[in-house]
Amino acid sequence: FWRLHRLFTQYQLPCTVFGVALALQKNPEAVMAMLDAGWEVASHGLRWIDYQHMSEEDEREHIRKAVEIHAEVVGERPLGFYQGKPSPNTRRLIMEEGGFLYDADSYADEIPYWVQYDGKSHLVVPYTLECNDMRFVTSSGFSDGEEFFTYLKDTFDVLYAEGATLPRMMSVGLHCRLVARPGRVSGLIKFFNYIKDFDDIWVCRRIDIATHWIKNHPS
């Protein structure tokens, strides 16, 4: 965590942290560092488990507890939600819980989009499984930092070119235990150095994307 914290603060780049509620509770110093840096702390659920076959009642209670603990530890309730391993009920349950501006439990697009449920609109700000350091630990993934950088750069270049005429959003998924290893983080540093030369891009938190979309592209 601290290696990534130093890197993001050094480059003065904002970010969104998906915080598992029980992990946030056990790491108050890291939470304080996130808040001091101006990062968004969104909810990553109560625990990092697979909710696919959990009962609706149990998942509803997990979401309620996640919001409660998050508010106690962070000082305010989360506005974004990413279960990570959701069930067919997850989106409906967080809409019923209320108070969220968006969720990120989708990999379906490169721009935010609206969904409807029970007459209500809900914003989805998609996440990514490809520009994601989880691929360091998959068989068809990245073997070193250079491959990670190349994939991020190629993705950025295509989306930047398309962005001349279409709205485009690029997400990069990072985990302390993965990309922050010394032999891998060099690829992320190279990517930060690459994008800093562009003066017409917006590096921001997911909550900033959500509020921009709600204001400029309402449902």
For residue 54, pLDDT over 90 is answered with: yes
Rounded average pLDDT over 11-32: 98
φ/ψ bin of 189: left (φ > 0), alpha (ψ from -120 to 50), beta (otherwise):
alpha
pLDDT digits (tens, 9 = 90+) for 66-85: 999 999 999 999 999 999 99
| Tokens standing for residue 137 | 């630990």
Percent of the chain with pLDDT over 90: 98
pLDDT digits (tens, 9 = 90+) for 131-188: 999 999 998 899 999 999 999 999 999 999 999 999 999 999 999 999 999 999 999 9
pLDDT digits (tens, 9 = 90+) for 187-203: 999 999 999 999 999 99
Residues paired with residue 173 on neighbouring β-strands, in sequence order: 132
Three-state secondary-structure class, residue 194: helix
pLDDT of residue 111: 97
For residue 122, pLDDT over 90 is answered with: yes
Rounded average pLDDT over 105-115: 97
Q: Are β-strands 113-117 and 120-124 bridged in parallel, bridged antiparallel, or unpaired?
A: antiparallel
Of 18, 182, 171, 174, the residue nearest 85 (C-alpha): 18
pLDDT of residue 139: 87
